[in-house]
Amino acid sequence: MKRLVLVALPADEGERLDRFIAARGGISRGAARRSIDEGGVFLDGRRCKVAGKPIRAGYTVHVNIEEGGRTPDDVEPLGRERLLYADEHLVAIDKPTGVPAQATLTSDRGTLPALAADLLGGPVTLVHRLDRETSGVTVLARTPAATYALAEAFRAGLPEKTYLALCLRPPSPPEGRLEVAIGRDPRRKGLRMVSPGGDLAATRYRTLRIGHAALVEARPETGRTHQIRVHLAHLGAPLLGDPKYGGARMVGSIPVLRVMLHAARLELPHPVTGAPLSFEAPVPADFSELAASLECPLPG
């Protein structure tokens, strides 16, 4: 991955972001727009996906550019077994833990769209995302029309999402529906918190197993950042491996190496035909083995 750091001068004032990156970075405007669309552009440390945003003098612009045919050495390519579904309009991928959905300011590891494009031999576009440590079903679009239709479906809350979470303890109450707003945490950059002034968020949940931890099924009705992590922590059940929201990295003598959240199933209408689609991703070994060791075996 190629990385650029560009500082806007007074002469750049008012220029469109994509034009500024192309001119100052020595790349094509198309490449600049792709970097913006893929979430690889940051203005003063904050991601920006608006190609027409006007530049202001003094801005520092970081740009991550995926170079064709190249993948960082420490990123494994996606195996064919990760491909859950593909047609000419969309693809469903079983995202491995540790793979970012988008480029970040501090990481140039391969993103899911880049790895999926390598697997499929053609470009794909992200329409929703899982956190880096979360595994499971992710859908990507293969055409502009599908991108628009899928983005609108997610915006309207049409997809039915089912997650499995390993929690420090069961939520209280053990089953129900939580509807509380989530906003930015002003004290911790990049994190969220329950906030009356935030965005409406609702999650249905139920406890499936209780042992030395709790296995919880979560079905978010909205798609707020870190929603399941914040909501379950609010219910007294922080996710294992999630110290940012009160979860433990050790349970007794057992280490927890990541946030224990898996996107197990996704149901949504096809972006072109409207036919119902359902995708399931198998629970990864690290999740199932930890669940078994904590006496919270997976159902079935």
Q: Within a 13 Å sphere around the CA of 179, how many CA atoms are in the beta-carbon half? A: 3
Choosing from 18, 94, 108, 131, which is the catalytic residue?
131
In DSSP notation, 244-269 reads GGT--SEETTEE--S--EEEEEEEEE
The set of residues, in sequence order, having a beta carbon less than 8 Å from that of 8 and lying 6+ positions away, is 20, 55, 56, 57, 58, 59, 60, 61
| Phi-psi region at 292: left, alpha or beta (left = phi > 0; alpha = psi -120 to 50) | alpha
Strand 261-269, strand 135-141: pairing: parallel
Assess whether 199 carries a catalytic annotation: no
CB contact at 8 A, 231 and 270:
no
**C-alpha span between 123 and 137 (Å, rounded):** 18
**C-alpha span between 282 and 260 (Å, rounded):** 14
Catalytic positions, please? Answer: 131
